[in-house]
A = this chain, B = another copy of it.
């Protein structure tokens, strides 16, 4: 078979004692790149700048866990209580990232790109935001990336926008989503409730400004939340009795009280 007939992959080349990820020696990456930087390299093909690397670390930290109530976490715990191996619980949790849970990132990326087409056509960002919100209101749809069952002001979204500004990474997607957020704050009565931008919306906007493909929108959430699924599956295995009935409402938190990050971390 000639080389031309072979199928191709551009990710990682494997030879005896030599592993190249996107052309870089994997063992040289170790200790020199953070995991987040290595993930960025693998997905995007090139190294991030230091600012983008720091932004990307923050994106991955932002969704690392959200307690026991998300359906993905409950799916993982229900598999764990059956005595199944940890990886089975984790795989079931990943399957629980349906369109209504994590899937909003991709929808929001497309929503923003739809808006930017209007901007390219001559509308201002503000006019575009008004148009997007009005269309959602007409269709009685919540714009993707907005609203949260628990948070009135999602602290993760606020922090991502703050970092994007400080690191000078903010681009047209972030500017548009913030404009939409402003319009929604004024027009909340049309939707019957407050619709603050949520962490999915913030990730969607920042990831779009960084140039990520739609497919990778939800993938970022998946990478971020995996440790949470692992931690919950493990806790289920070691702290709870097997084959129990897991009620998502009757639990409480018994971990450390609120504490401050040490200064050197700030």
| A interface with B by C-beta (< 8 Å) | 1, 3, 5-36, 38-39, 42-43, 45, 47, 54, 57-58, 60-62, 64-69, 71-72, 74-75, 78-92, 94-103, 149-156, 158-160, 163, 213, 215-216, 218-219, 222-224, 226-228, 230-232, 234-235, 237-240, 242-262, 265-266
**Chain B residues near A32 (CB-CB < 8 A):** 261, 265-266
Q: In the complex, what's the smallest C-beta–C-beta distance from A68 to chain B, in angstroms?
A: 5
Assuming the contacts A8-B254, A23-B256, asked whether A61 and B38 have C-beta atoms less than 8 A apart, the reply is yes
Assuming the contacts A14-B66, A159-B31, asked whether A99 and B74 have C-beta atoms less than 8 A apart, the reply is no
Question: Are B255 and A22 touching (Cβ within 8 A)?
Answer: yes
Question: Are B34 and A36 touching (Cβ within 8 A)?
Answer: yes
Question: Are A13 and B255 touching (Cβ within 8 A)?
Answer: yes
State the main secondary structure of chain A at its contact with B.
Answer: mixed
Question: Are B42 and A228 touching (Cβ within 8 A)?
Answer: yes
Question: Are A21 and B248 touching (Cβ within 8 A)?
Answer: no
Question: Are B83 and A103 touching (Cβ within 8 A)?
Answer: yes
Q: In the complex, what's the smallest C-beta–C-beta distance from A6 to chain B, in angstroms?
A: 5
A47 to B263, CA, bound (A): 13
A242 to B149, CA, bound (A): 12
A58 to B13, CA, bound (A): 19
Further contacts, 17 of them, CB under 8 A, given A8-B239, A30-B163, A213-B238: A9-B235, A11-B65, A11-B67, A11-B68, A22-B256, A25-B155, A35-B36, A35-B64, A42-B228, A43-B231, A71-B243, A74-B74, A79-B95, A82-B97, A83-B98, A85-B85, A89-B95
Q: In the complex, what's the smallest C-beta–C-beta distance from A23 to chain B, in angstroms?
A: 3
